Amino acid sequence: MGNCPEKETALRSRPRLIRSWVNWDADRSVRRPGDCCVRAISVVSKRPYEEVYNDLYLFTKSDPGYGVVTEALARYLRKRGFLVRSLFHKQVELATFMPKEPRAVIFLRDHSTAMINGHIVDTFNPLDRPKMHRVHGYAVPR
């Protein structure tokens, strides 16, 4: 966590519900710099990465490998049967966030991640990046 004892103490003092972080690359054949939403949807929906990538590309008419605007992502997920909830105006911390449903796509600042039974599934741990601690919303399959 670096050399900041105040930060380390503050992080340890917060209650944590997240059980762990699982490093998973979604079995993608090509690495794209902004494809976090594709990876997260692939994990949560149990669909292959390339299938989600192609479907999202057709829906947004732009390359999802370079990021997708949150509103377009929410419309896509609703069309695919997900229940989408906004938490943007609430102070919800990722470390203590636990949706009732076991599988969820979590929207953070400039990032989407998957959560399965309290485990973050992603290529990095968002809790290690201070700007990504606040949950802006989430989507769960129905």
| Greater pLDDT, 123 or 31 | 123
pLDDT per residue over 85-130, tens digit each?
999 888 899 988 989 999 999 999 889 999 999 899 999 999 888 8
Q: Taking all residues of the chain, what is their mean pLDDT, rounded to a whole number? A: 85
Euclidean distance between CA atoms 122 and 26, whole angstroms? 8
| Least confident among 11-20, 54-63, 75-84, 119-128 | 11-20
CB 41 within 8 A of CB 72: no
Calculate the alpha carbon distances from 37 to 10, 16, 40, 137 in Å.
Answer: 30, 24, 5, 13
Q: How many residues does the chain have?
A: 142
Once rounded to an integer, what is the mean pLDDT over residues 50-68?
94
The pLDDT assigned to 2 comes to 43
- pLDDT over 70 (residue 39): yes
Farthest CA pair distance, the chain: 48
Q: Which span out of 9-13, 28-32, 103-107 was modeled with the highest average pLDDT?
A: 103-107
Euclidean distance between CA atoms 7 and 118, whole angstroms? 23
Once rounded to an integer, what is the mean pLDDT over residues 35-55?
94
pTM of the model: 0.83
Euclidean distance between CA atoms 3 and 92, whole angstroms? 26
